[in-house]
Each structure stands twice: as structure tokens, then as C-alpha cells.
Structure 1
Amino acid sequence: MTTLLFLPSADLGLRWLRFADDDSVLAGQGVPIGDDAVVAVAPPESVTLHWATLPVRSPAQAVAAARLLVAEATATPVAELHVAVGDEGEGDRPIAVVDRGVMAGWLADLAVQGVDPIAMVPAPLLLPRPEDGYVRAEIAGLPLIRGRATGFADEGMVTDLVVGDAPVELLDDLLLDGWLARVAAAPPLDLRQGPFARRRRIGIDWAHVRRLAVMAAAVLLVTLAIDLVRIGKYSFGADALEARAEALGRTGLARGETVTDVDRQLTERLNAVRGPGLGFTTTVAAAYAAVRATPGTELTGLDFQANGDLRLSVAAARESLPTDLKRSLERAGFTVNAGTFQSANGRVTGEMTVTRR
């Protein structure tokens, strides 16, 4: 249910009309009791109404344009006025102007009574907008009259001056009750906008929170399952590669050899084939490369030791060449121990030992 709460006007205090779901209308005095939604009704003498064509792209643009129109139509500084814009679904849009202090006072008085209205509508806008002439009705003891672009309290001589010879229709009570119920559900203009807009209370929807928690837990479980599947896949793949490597390694061992550690056994066999240290082939190849790089030197003997050392017998054309050969071998990554070289018959001869560094 929705309740229209009429603010004090002239000698009238707080009054209310309540519209039930079964189309019945209840009336009373003072502050309504209950938790129903309340729409406050501002007295007509405190609100000035205008109608104008305004931008519809955004509420801010419409209010800005309305403030410019109001500034031209009133002597009161626009900064002291509260301007609100509504929409009746037609070309011209209603503009309500009320003093900021009055508006703040209404809301403060209602707050003291424990009422926070969901909207506040000017009293003349409770009447439907006529196609022609004026409509008249009395609502909660408040006589009102409205035309296409006017709305005010029905006050005898003033009404006659404004209305003139235009037709005035007195609204039927049944038609009026139906219209008031529509206005209570969707006011054509709400004064509670801009600085006086109703503050929204932030409530926690625990059911929604629980659903989000369940969804988050499901996402985490799915992510964990994906990681577990990936880990299992990598583990099985690693085991398969290890088994394949071991099978390939077995083919490099001697036939009939008992396999305990393929890695270590292949290393032992490789050492036995190539020799200790860097092996015979690698060490001799490096020695020959150094001799070729040192013109005037030659090898007269080779002796590959059981510990991987290579003993070289060297003959050179000049005294300096053995030293050059030694440096070339050292640059190749070996440790070279040179013996005593002797000169005889125009040749320099001696020995040096090449060791893995």
C-alpha cells in the first residue's frame, strides 16, 4: 500500500490518504501508522509550477535548462530556490520551484515524526492534466484547480480571474480516487531530487552473498581440479620419458650386464672407451691443433697416461716456439707442465705434460 501524506496548509494539519490493494481508500489525520511507503504532498501556496519544453537526454541537462527559465521568471536569486523537473509523458514538462529553506524544513519536520517519504509531489499535480480548460477537485480538505499549464489552490476570486470563461470540470470522486492511486505509485514530479534526493540505505542481501560464496568455492574447486589434472599429466609424462630414457640407456651397455644405475654405468663405459680425463681423442686432437697453430713445431712422440695426462715430445726450430706451443695449449683449456728443452744440431727438443684443467 502507498500513503499520500499532506503537509500542513493554511489552517489544515497533517492528513493522509491510504490506497489499499483492493482499491479501497482510507483517510486520517496526523502521522500515518505503519510501514507503508509514504509520498508527501507539498501545499500549493508554497510551490510555483511552470511548464516548458526541456532536453530529455539527461536529468542534469533538464534541471540546468529549467533553472535558466526560472531565473528569468522570478526576482528571487535562483541560488535560494530548489528547482525540480518532472515528466508527464507529453511535450511540455512540469517544473516546480520551492524555497530551499522551506523544502529543508518540511523534510526536517517529517524526520522528527519518523517519516522519510519516498517522494514529494506538489498538490496541484495530484489532478490529471486536462485536454482543455480546467479541472477542479477537493482532496483531503484542500481545494485544487489545474489547467494545461497552471496549477494552484482554488480560492474564489483568484480562481475566477485566472480561469475567466474557460470551462471547469468537477472531477468525479471515483475517477479521482483511481487517478490519485496512479499518482501515488508514480508521481509526475518528485521534489526529492538534487540536494534533497532520498538517501538509499545499503542493505546486505545475505542470500545473494551465499550464492556468490558458493560460486566462488565452485570456481576454486574447478581451478584446483584443473591444476591437479595438469600436475598428474606432467607426472605421468615425466615417468614415461624416464622409462624411455632408461630403455635407451640399456642399449648402450654391454649385453648381459646387470643394470642397477643406467646413468652411472653409461658414464663408466664412456670413460672406459674414451679414456680418463677428457679422453684420448679429445686431448690428442687439441695437441695437434696447437702444433698446427704454431708453425716450426712438431711432435716426435705421444704417451697417453692412465690418469688421462698426455705426455708430448716436441721438437722446434727456435727457442721461443715451445713457449708459444705451451701458451696455445693453455688457451685451449689445459694445464701444461713443460720440462727442460735442449738445443742440439739446430733443433730445440724437450717434453711437456698436458693435463685437464
Structure 2
Amino acid sequence: MSATYLFLPSGDRPFRWARVEDGALVEGEGVPAEPGDVIAVAPADAVALHWAELPSRSTAQATAAARLLVADASAEAVSDLHVAIGRADDKVGSPGDRPIGVVGVDAMRRWLVDLAQVGVDPVAIVPAPMLIPAPEQGYARAELGGQGIVRGPATGFADEARLTELLTGGVAPETLGRGDIAAALGRPGWTLDLRQGLFARRRRVGIDWRLVRRLGWYALAILLVTSSISLARLARYSFGADLLEARADTVAAQGLPRGSTVTDASRQLDERLAALRGPGQGFTATGAAAFAAIQSVPGSELTTLSFEPNGSLRLGITTATEASVTDLKSAIERAGFAVAAGTFQSAGGRVSGEFTVSPR
């Protein structure tokens, strides 16, 4: 059985249907007893059709672009409109142009409720003008579902006497015969389906429990293999860590005084290093920073030097000017040390005082 085209009610027009049987067009009112696959047909005066070049990489991008175009062309809020996009037909309009159908959200909901009440879940909802082929030039007219429709290369609308003349620019549409309409309805597919997004048809998915059990066993096997690999890696890392720790103890024993008992190699090495270099950062690092700073400030001299048990370094300093004292203090601080300045006095053209340099 061929697909049944069920024309949605509009105004005082009830449900009507059409079907191609043995190449002939058969029509009737109401809903047929055994409709088979149903393609619902939206009234031409309820759907606004546009054509535009839209992004082809993803449906989301194309829909977003279409909604922007519709927002500029419609007086209604775009949130109250359902926007559907179709596929491009290279024979229609400019190459790459895609049809855009715009209909009220409330109208879509009402149509689906009406269809559900008569026990129909349509495979698609197609605007009436999209059922007839677009002419290469001029306009084509057909009578379908009790309503006249007009189709142009990139237009589609309901046939109304005065409005049609304005939209066609006075060009009289060519009326299609029943044979042409039957050929159009018998062709497979359509370029625009309003059942998209929120109104997309819900598909029932059957559950293959044998496949589910098989996948469950596969998942369990994968989990066991993965766990075995993880356990093997953990054991390997543990053995490696023990080996590295033993090697570290051996190396540490070589850095400690001969005959020392190794209990905590890292701590014992730190203690010996602190004893060798002194507390804090040690005398060598602290003194080097202080000497480098004194050399960098012209006219600065070191008069006294004392390394304290707490790791601080006391310096007796003389400089040519008070500004040199500040420069010398800043130079030591830039080396990474804290500097506490004592009282500096000026005598005999020189400024003298003390700095206490300590690690930060």
C-alpha cells in the first residue's frame, strides 16, 4: 500500500486524504480505515516558507542560522515559532538554498493532538506547497485537500485570488492536472519535514536481551583484564620503589661518616649537610650574596662580619652616602634574603652602621 497523505483540518475543512493507487489519484474525506504510513499535510496558509543558504556542517548550526533569519522576518516572537529546515534541491532556487518552514508552536501541538485522537502518528508533517514539484520558472498551481496551493522556484503559499497576483507579480500559475499531482505524490521523499526538534517523531526501541547479556559478559571480561593489568602495574611499581629505596640507602650510607648506622638516610644527610654548611642557608650562600651586593654598590665597604648560630649574618657597613645604604639593602634583598638595618651614623664624610642578613 502506498503512503497516505492526510490533510490536516483548517477552518471548516475536515480531515481529507489522498493516495496514489495504480498511478491514479484517489481522494476522500475523514481518515481511511487502514491508512498505512501516513504523511500529514499542513495547510499552506498556516506555514510560512522561506529559502536561504544555511550552514551544512551540522543541523544545530543550520537551525540557529534559520532562527536568526526568521527573527528578522517575523513579527512574532521567535520563541513562539517552530522553525524546521529541509534539504537543498539543486534544481530549485540558488544552488545550496534550503527550505525553511515556520509555524506556530501552538499549531504544531494542536495538529499532533488532533492526529493522536484519530489514532495516527504520522511519519512526517509536510507543508502542502512542498508536495508539488517546483517549476524551473514561473509558478505551478494545484488543488489538494480542498485547498489551492501555488509553488514557485523558491516560494510556496496558499492560492488566494488577490494575494496570488501580488506574490506572482501578475504571472498566472500553470494549473497541474490530476496526473501531474499523482506523479508528484508518488515520488519518494520530501525536502521539508516539520517533525523536527521538539516535535520529532519518537522511535520505539526494542531491547535484545540476548545481546544485552552478551555485552554484559564482554564488559565483565574487559573489567577483569583491566583490573589484572592494573594490579600487575601496582606490583611492578611497588617492587621498583623498594629497589630504589634500597639503592638510596646505599648511596646515603656512602655520604655519611664511616661507621654510621643508617636509619633515615634522607634526614641524616640533611643533618650532616646543615652541620657542614651552617644553619639557615649556610655561611657560604649568605656571605656570597652579601659580598656580591657590596661589590655592586660603589663606595661600600665591609668593616665587620659575624655569622650567628641561628643562620643570620651580621655585617658592619660603611658607605659614601645614605642613598648607598638603601641601594645596598635592596641588592641583598633581591638575592633572596631578609635584611634588618640598624642605626646608621654619618661621620667624616662616611655613613656607617650594621645589617643583619637572614634567610627568608
TM-score, normalised to structure 2, is 0.55
2:191 counterpart residue number = 188
* Partner amino acid, structure 1, of 2:201: R
* Partner amino acid, structure 1, of 2:75: A
**One of 194, 197, 201 as aligned partner of 1:198:** 201
Secondary structure at the aligned position of 1:51 is classed as: strand
* Partner amino acid, structure 1, of 2:108: M
After TM superposition, give the deviation of residue 166 of structure 1 in Å: 2.8
**One of 105, 113, 119 as aligned partner of 1:114:** 119
Deviations 1:134-188, CA, capped at 9 Å, x for gaps: 1111113211111122211111111112212335222132122111122xx4121
**One of 135, 141, 162 as aligned partner of 1:136:** 141
1:307 counterpart residue number = none
Structure 1 regions of 5+ residues with no counterpart?
Answer: 221-357
- Is 1:2 the counterpart of 2:3? The answer is yes
**Alpha-carbon RMSD:** 2.4
After TM superposition, give the deviation of residue 88 of structure 1 in Å: 4.0
- Is 1:67 the counterpart of 2:106? The answer is no
Secondary structure at the aligned position of 1:121 is classed as: strand
* Partner amino acid, structure 2, of 1:120: I
Structure 2 regions of 5+ residues with no counterpart?
Answer: 91-95, 222-360
Which ranges of 4 or more aligned residues in structure 1 deviate by more than 4 Å?
none
**Gap change, CA 1:2 and 1:143, over 3 Å in 2:** same
Deviations 1:91-123, CA, capped at 9 Å, x for gaps: 211101011011111101111111100100011
- Is 1:101 the counterpart of 2:106? The answer is yes
Q: Distance in 2 between matches of 1:121 and 1:133?
A: 22
* Partner amino acid, structure 2, of 1:18: R
Secondary structure at the aligned position of 1:96 is classed as: strand
* Partner amino acid, structure 2, of 1:158: L
After TM superposition, give the deviation of residue 3 of structure 1 in Å: 0.5
Deviations 1:23-71, CA, capped at 9 Å, x for gaps: 3433221112215100000011111111100111111111111000001
Q: Distance in 2 between matches of 1:141 and 1:18?
A: 14
Alpha-carbon contact 2:165-2:171 (below 8 Å) kept: no
**Gap change, CA 1:170 and 1:205, over 3 Å in 2:** farther
* Partner amino acid, structure 2, of 1:147: G
Secondary structure at the aligned position of 2:9 is classed as: coil
* Partner amino acid, structure 1, of 2:204: R
1:56 counterpart residue number = 56
* Partner amino acid, structure 2, of 1:71: A
Q: Distance in 2 between matches of 1:148 and 1:66?
A: 19
Secondary structure at the aligned position of 1:4 is classed as: strand
Q: Distance in 1 between matches of 2:178 and 2:24?
A: 12
Q: Distance in 2 between matches of 1:72 and 1:10?
A: 29
Give the share of equivalent positions with the same residue, in percent.
Answer: 54
1:41 counterpart residue number = 41
**Is the radius of gyration larger for structure 1 or structure 2?**
1
Q: Please give the residue correspondences for 1:308-347 in structure 2 after superposition, counting only pairs within 5 Å.
A: none
Q: Distance in 2 between matches of 1:34 and 1:204?
A: 28
- Is 1:85 the counterpart of 2:85? The answer is yes
Q: Please give the residue correspondences for 1:274-293 in structure 2 after superposition, counting only pairs within 5 Å.
A: none
Secondary structure at the aligned position of 1:56 is classed as: coil
* Partner amino acid, structure 1, of 2:63: V
Q: Distance in 2 between matches of 1:59 and 1:84?
A: 10
* Partner amino acid, structure 1, of 2:105: R
